[in-house]
């Protein structure tokens, strides 16, 4: 990946020995040493997908910790009952190391656990960076888009969260997804997600952003083909404004960006139509987005 900043881990954690799984990176550059950022991947990226993002923030003087919530020993194999408490455990470890301000960066599915953790552990988390955010907790899925499972995608200490149901079998889910990908010439499941949101009558499934005690930055792209993130961000901003949320909250939307808003280029991202349509404009907007995220972390947290 061009321009990628090379970093080496300082410490690795496991569920068996530490109660959470992850990797800690200490920035070699002078920065704000009382701040640290927890990094959460999306539903199909895994730990390795977040290393370039972590490198971006480390290069700017911010210590970071990638925290796993599925796919590792001691964690769910599929996207079912993924434990929100692992973020709390990681935040407690960081607090014990002397960090006074702990933020959480999440992308896609990672934004759901970020918000749930901020609501469950408001005394620990003081900033949220939510890139391409979810609006609701959704029904469990098999890993790598291989179908649906009964139950919730997230749980707190074994208690599942209320969720929006897919209301379709694994076969129908997969057929609908692949059909929409062919129709739109894109990785496309926006219709499935929008349908689940609109059919959900249990408002407890909505991610409780208002229960956080954190500065919040929402980042979305108008060409998101996976989930309706721009609409989600506007709804969350309205909720926070209506409830008189006392902490800084801001929404950034970018006209030529899609779902994966990350500060680097990769041939893998060409699977998204937005990346193929607007390679130059998109690259400029990604750089702008991460400049704004960096400013937010510096001045609004």
Mean pLDDT for the chain overall: 95
**Residue 145's pLDDT band (cuts 50, 70, 90):** low
Q: Among candidates 98, 113, 107, which has minimal Cα distance to 54? A: 107
Q: What mean pLDDT comes out for the span 126-154?
A: 94
Supply the pTM of this predicted model: 0.96
Predicted local confidence at residue 8, as pLDDT: 85
pLDDT digits (tens, 9 = 90+) for 243-298: 999 999 999 999 999 999 999 888 889 999 999 999 999 999 999 999 999 999 99
Decide if pLDDT at 17 tops 70. yes
| Domains in the chain: boundaries | 11-299
Q: Please provide the CATH number assigned to the domain covering 11-299.
A: 3.40.50.1820
């Amino acid at each position: 990946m061009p321009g990628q900043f090379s970093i080496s881990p300082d410490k690795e954690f496991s569920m068996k020995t530490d109660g959470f799984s992850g990797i800690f990176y200490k920035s070699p550059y002078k920065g704000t040493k009382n701040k640290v950022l927890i990094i959460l991947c999306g539903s199909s990226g895994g730990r390795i997908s977040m290393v370039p993002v972590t490198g971006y923030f480390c290069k700017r003087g911010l210590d970071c910790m990638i925290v796993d919530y599925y796919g590792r020993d001691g964690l769910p194999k599929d996207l079912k009952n993924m434990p929100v408490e692992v973020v709390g455990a990681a935040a407690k470890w960081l607090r014990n190391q002397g960090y006074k301000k702990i933020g959480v960066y999440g992308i896609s599915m990672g934004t759901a656990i970020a918000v749930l953790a901020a609501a469950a552990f408001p005394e620990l988390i003081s900033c949220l960076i939510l890139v391409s955010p979810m609006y609701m907790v959704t029904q469990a899925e098999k890993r790598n888009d291989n179908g649906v499972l009964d139950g919730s995608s997230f749980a707190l200490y074994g208690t599942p969260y209320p969720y929006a149901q897919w209301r379709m079998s694994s076969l129908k889910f997969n057929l609908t997804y692949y059909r929409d990908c062919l129709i739109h010439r894109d990785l496309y499941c926006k219709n499935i997600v929008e349908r689940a949101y609109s059919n959900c009558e249990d408002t407890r499934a909505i991610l409780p952003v208002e229960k956080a005690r954190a500065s919040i930055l929402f980042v979305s792209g108008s060409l998101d083909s996976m989930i309706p993130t721009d609409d989600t961000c506007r709804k969350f901003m309205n909720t926070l404004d209506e409830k008189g949320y006392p902490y800084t909250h801001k929404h950034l939307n970018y006209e030529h960006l899609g779902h994966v808003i990350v500060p680097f280029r990769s041939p893998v991202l060409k699977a998204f139509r937005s990346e193929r349509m607007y390679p130059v404009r998109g690259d400029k907007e990604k750089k702008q987005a991460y400049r704004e995220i960096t400013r937010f972390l510096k001045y609004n947290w």
